[in-house]
A and B are shown apart, each in its own frame.
Chain A
């Protein structure tokens, strides 16, 4: 049934967008980190969305996070000779998170999330209406 499928599609989008929001939170939290878990400077992570075509209804597609990639741009280097992580030249490697980019990403993710919630609500109302058919 098409209307229940709408709930599946929107739910997949909610999951994907919340994972995107999650990576934004992780990136922003580590914006000033000097080292990540591997001892290297923290690298910003980005989610990659992929459309998943619905076999039973051509043309429509749900969405999933196919992979999480790390930003390969060089770490930000800050001159701080007194820092324990400073190298022999006095520079500290900070994470390569671009805070402005992350904020834009956050706003975009939250708007998309809201749109999908609205879609779910509308689909739910239509389904409830349909149950009253003939009464």
Chain B
């Protein structure tokens, strides 16, 4: 019973999680808008959500090409971060485009709230089924 409850809510919960990860990346882009050589990062929402649903963890393992190298036992769990190329690159190597980032941030906030409302409605639906 509890398992199926969990399964009902999992999709929106994970969507919420990926949205908040993306929100953080965009916040760090805006924070580093004046840092020389900073490259703007983002995640592909569809890919990240699909990975989260299927339980696939993207791992990055250190390569060993010489006898002195140390192999990493587990590798790090890394959300697939992509780096954007600026259409108007700055002279200091920074690729953050403030207007685009601000738009993305606002857009992602709305999507976050959408996922939140879906989740909320699901909970309300379950509650009304329980309470009658």
Contact = CB atoms under 8 A, between A and B. Distances in A.
Chain B interface residue bracket vs A: 35 or more
Contacts of A115: 30, 33, 98, 102
B123 A58 contact: no
Given A60-B25, A126-B109, A9 B31 contact: yes
Nearest to B116: A129
A contact face: mostly helix, strand, loop, or mixed: helix
Interface residues of A, number: 40
Contacts of A118: 102
B30 A58 contact: no
B36 interface: yes
B34 A6 contact: no
Contacts of A122: 105-106, 109
B38 interface: yes
Given A49-B35, A119-B105, A129-B113, A13 B24 contact: no
Q: Tell me the dominant secondary structure on chain B's binding face.
A: helix
A133 B123 contact: yes
B49 interface: no
A119 B23 CA distance: 9
A51 interface: yes
Contacts of A48: 36
Nearest to A109: B34
30 contacts: A2-B17, A6-B23, A9-B28, A10-B27, A10-B30, A12-B31, A13-B32, A49-B32, A49-B34, A49-B35, A51-B38, A54-B28, A57-B24, A58-B79, A58-B81, A59-B25, A59-B41, A60-B41, A61-B28, A62-B28, A112-B34, A115-B102, A123-B23, A125-B109, A126-B20, A126-B23, A129-B113, A133-B116, A133-B119, A134-B127
Interface of B: 17, 20-21, 23-25, 27-28, 30-36, 38, 41, 43, 76, 78-79, 81, 98, 102, 105-106, 109, 112-113, 116, 119-120, 123-124, 127
